[in-house]
Amino acid sequence: MPHRPLSLTLDLIARAHPIPVADDASALHLLTDRDLAPGLDRMLHGRPAQGNGLWVFGYGSLIWQPEFAVAERRTGTVRGYHRRFCLLQRRFRGSRDRPGLVLALDRGGICRGIAFRLEGIDPAATLMPVWRREMRGGGYEGRWVTVETGTGPVTALTFVVNRASDRYTGRLTEEEIADRIATGAGHLGPSAEYLFRTAQACAEAGILDDHLWRLQRLVAERLEADHRQEQEPRLAAR
């Protein structure tokens, strides 16, 4: 269970976003596996020498929805990057009319997350599902990072923001980020649900991230305020 309750709830999010959003494939060009394979090959050729397995470092949705076979997981810290909502979504967790935001690693600071050791004999085949998931939209770049864990360091693949992408928002204030998350929604659901599930998963893993915690509170406040405004005309008409 989370070490403290979240202000943001799934009921609050569902009340704010009652109508599903249709997918718009034209909103984001997605690379094919053929497009992605050379980059993955280069990534593997540049992999630092180490013999403790094939690892991926998750800091956002990979924590609660890894979508790959996991042989081992460890909580750990990466230095030189921090977790931030700085990647615009016009599809998946956002749309053209209601763009949202998702997490990426940006320069500076530290980030606590989960290091996953993947099962598989062929590194390219093992990594392609997560490489496809994170890289097909052009918003991320792959990096090998050292993850400090309680049982020793591991070298892991992670995904940092592609600052050259038109989806990179730069350093918005947390109030600006909360505004976009509160309104953003795509065919995979609202940005606020992504925030909720990430904050909940981090809390359950004992990872306290002040950025996530402040944002979930700010988004909850905005959704509550919007609901009150919607109710006022109905109450006045009674």
**What amino acid positions are annotated as catalytic residues?**
134
Beta strand 154-161 with 55-58 is: parallel
CA dihedral 55, 60, 64, 67 (to 10 degrees): -50
Burial classification of residue 229, based on how many CB atoms lie within 10 Å of its CB (0-12 exposed, 13-18 middle, 19 or more buried): exposed
Half-sphere exposure (Cβ direction) of 1: Cα atoms closer than 13 Å: 3
Which residue type occupies 121? I
CA distances from 72 to 12, 30, 76, 136, 182 (A): 34, 30, 13, 26, 34
Q: Are 134 and 31 in contact (CB under 8 A)?
A: no
